[in-house]
Amino acid sequence: MNVYAIRHDAITGCYAYDENTLIIKLETGKDVTAVNVYANDPYVGEFGERWKGDKIEMERVAELKNTLVWQASVTPKYKRLQYYFEITSGDEKLYLFEDGIQSSGDGKRGTIVQYFKYAWLNPADVCVVPKWAEDVVWYQIFPDRFCRSDAGNKGGLKILPWGKEDGARFYDFYGGNLRGISDRLEYIKDLGIGGLYLTPIMRSDTNHRYNVHDYTLVDPELGSEDDLKELIAKAHSLGLKVMLDAVFNHCGREFFAWRDVMENGKKSKYYDWFFINDEQFDRSGNSTKDGRYYSFAFAAYMPKLNTNNTEVMNYFIDICKGWVALGADGIRFDVGNEISHAFLKKLRLELKAIKPDLYLLGEIWHRSLPWLLGDEYDSVMNYQFLESVNDFMVDKSETAQDLMYALNEAYSLYYKQINGVLFNMLDNHDVDRAVTRCGSVDGLLQELTMLITMQGSPCIYYGTEIGMGGELKESRNRRCMDWDGIESGKYDKIISEFKSIVALKKLFSQFKDGNIEWNVGANRIVNYVWKNSQGKRLAVYLNASETSIDIAIDKPIAYSRLLDGSTLRAGGIAVLCG
């Protein structure tokens, strides 16, 4: 048996799914054929008797590239649990205890048998996420480029003609505003969308607004606080959630606290709101690689905030409370991995006390378990999903099996309840657009099908529904929405396909607590099947190869593209449900 592949940890390996249920996980090599966990209350026996656990068969739930993942659910009667594992490979059996692998189930290596333990299932320690987020399809809007309403212009900047392609600089504005978004909410709702995610809308001097100057003021170029209230109220009347973007890792040069520090140096009462390392910190230059103070990505115009400072914590928690009072349903935290854990824990406690189902989303590009233990974020931007799907579509040498390994790995990182609300996406304002990366509308729609029929809270970047392309280079991924083309019917065909795929989210809600079964090999034919406890199945076929294939049509067709009878052409999609 490959003992080096056997792995169990006390954080992701045994955790509370709800107030009554623990989920136990174990990772093994692919040579393992069965796993049992022996579990019971640690005090179940009489004093002096040898402790015995009840045998529970573990289910093989995922195959990764080099290992298998096994899982079991346990309902401990007395809220405590003690356990060990019996691992079988052919005729060989080994046993895993807290102090290592042993050849006997007795577990005796010293005076005390070192069983694994889950001390107590405290309700306050359960990782609870907003259940509504499991059923929402988000729509990300870059406000300056989405829609311009002449009634919404409150600023005085020079506005470029809508859609003109030479506005690549951060200081070029096209005049998209909150009124414009409000005017298009019916369009967004008709796409099948359930929530809006707006990139920053607070006062700034750039079109991206990630260098905030005033956190208390809607940027006049976008409108007013009344415009924001009206937008949220109208969105809610249409059943749409609204998520705002919080830029608390850093600020802009005109933020009042930074201005005070620039004027008064160490005498400023806000000096400790930042990370300043050199008394000559205010010397000119666009980069902070000289270390005079810390900033986001060495950009001098975005000084880094000290979110370890209690005053900073309280200031930004109050900002969030104001957004919640306006009706915000979610908050996305920019550069969410650099904000202090202490701040996030305090923020969650205070905000959830006001609005328990508020959705807290962190922008983190890497594995994020420390932020997803139930006391900080509810979810993160799932770049593992994005890269898994995009890499498969871009790299034609990757097989469906490679895709399965990558997605299974992405879904093995976090608690089950977190997987249900992971913020999955194909692209956003920080990467090349999906259709540009994969190179075709066929590939884009296949990616979209995976996005909608996998666990999580999927997000669509504005313009994806019309096949909008663009590279991150020179901000080509932030082009103006082509409303003239939409209204002329230019994009009717792809919008129709988009709506049909997004509508699958309602079907998939029957399977969000189900199990996935992959049927793939060393080719580019993707097939996975979701099964629920009522015996229903959702089967997805994606033909990412260059030749047609025959598939088994054994259930009603929920959606198809390039399907002739039972023949699925190259680039085709078939989703069966029943």
pLDDT digits (tens, 9 = 90+) for 383-441: 999 999 999 999 999 999 999 999 999 999 999 999 999 999 999 999 999 999 999 99
The pLDDT-based confidence of 167 (bands split at 50, 70, 90) is low
Q: Which residues are catalytic?
A: 334, 363
> Does the pLDDT value for residue 211 go beyond 60?
yes
In angstroms, rounded to a whole number, what is the distance separating the alpha carbons of residues 437 and 468?
12
CATH class entry, domain 3-125:
mainly beta
Torsion sign (Cα): 260, 262, 267, 272: positive
The residues that bridge with 243 in the sheet, in sequence order, are: 197, 330
pLDDT value for 166: 66
Strand-pair category, 567-577 with 14-16: unpaired
In angstroms, rounded to a whole number, what is the distance separating the alpha carbons of residues 197 and 243?
5
pTM tops 0.85: yes
In angstroms, rounded to a whole number, what is the distance separating the alpha carbons of residues 517 and 508?
15
Tell me which residue of 575, 563, 576, 577 sits closest to 449, measured CA to CA.
575
- Amino acid 384 reads Q
In angstroms, rounded to a whole number, what is the distance separating the alpha carbons of residues 93 and 258?
64
Strand-pair category, 92-97 with 59-63: unpaired
Q: What are phi and psi of 472, to 5 degrees?
A: -60, -35
Instruction: Write out pLDDT tens, residues 295-313.
Output: 999 999 999 999 999 999 9
Higher pLDDT, 106 or 90: 90
Percentage of the chain modeled with pLDDT above 90: 91
Give CA torsion, residues 474, 480, 486, 492, to 10 deg: 30
The CATH code belonging to domain 134-140+159-247+307-483 is: 3.20.20.80
Q: Which two tokens stand for residue 102?
A: 């042993």
Q: Is 309 left (phi over 0), alpha (psi -120 to 50) or beta?
A: beta
Q: Answer for the pair 555, 539: CB distance below 8 angstroms, yes or no.
A: yes
User: Residue written as tokens 């093995």?
Assistant: 412
State which H helix or E strand residue 116 sits in: strand 116-118
Q: Answer for the pair 219, 264: CB distance below 8 angstroms, yes or no.
A: no
In angstroms, rounded to a whole number, what is the distance separating the alpha carbons of residues 424 and 211?
25
Burial class (CB in 10 A: 0-12, 13-18, 19+), 478: buried
Instruction: Write out pLDDT tens, residues 359-378.
Output: 999 999 999 999 999 999 99
Q: Which two tokens stand for residue 204?
A: 């700034």
In angstroms, rounded to a whole number, what is the distance separating the alpha carbons of residues 329 and 323?
9
The reply to whether domains 3-125 and 510-577 share a CATH topology is: yes
> Does the pLDDT value for residue 156 go beyond 80?
no
**CATH 2.60.40.1180 fits domain 510-577:** yes
> Does the pLDDT value for residue 152 go beyond 70?
no
- Helix ranges (DSSP H) in 224-281: 225-237, 256-264
Q: Find the mean pLDDT for residues 22-37.
A: 98
Average pLDDT, the chain: 95
The pLDDT-based confidence of 279 (bands split at 50, 70, 90) is confident
Rounded to the nearest 5 percent, the helix, strand and coil shares of the chain are: 30, 25, 45
Higher pLDDT, 163 or 440: 440
pLDDT value for 498: 98
Q: Answer for the pair 255, 273: CB distance below 8 angstroms, yes or no.
A: no
Hey, where are the domains in the chain? 3-125, 134-140+159-247+307-483, 250-306, 510-577
Q: Which two tokens stand for residue 337?
A: 């991995």
The pLDDT-based confidence of 10 (bands split at 50, 70, 90) is confident
pLDDT value for 331: 98
Q: Find the mean pLDDT for residues 161-186.
A: 89
Burial class (CB in 10 A: 0-12, 13-18, 19+), 158: exposed
Q: Find the mean pLDDT for residues 110-123.
A: 90
Q: Work out the number of other CB atoms within 10 angstroms of the CB of residue 112.
A: 9
* HSE-up of residue 519 (Cα within 13 Å, Cβ side): 11
> Does the pLDDT value for residue 7 go beyond 90?
yes
Q: Answer for the pair 110, 117: CB distance below 8 angstroms, yes or no.
A: no
Residue-by-residue DSSP string for 140-179: EE-HHHH---GGG--S-S-BPPTT-TT--STT-B----HH
Q: Which fold has domain 250-306?
A: Oligo-1,6-glucosidase; domain 2 (3.90.400)
> Does the pLDDT value for residue 108 go beyond 80?
no
Q: Answer for the pair 248, 202: CB distance below 8 angstroms, yes or no.
A: no
Burial class (CB in 10 A: 0-12, 13-18, 19+), 168: exposed
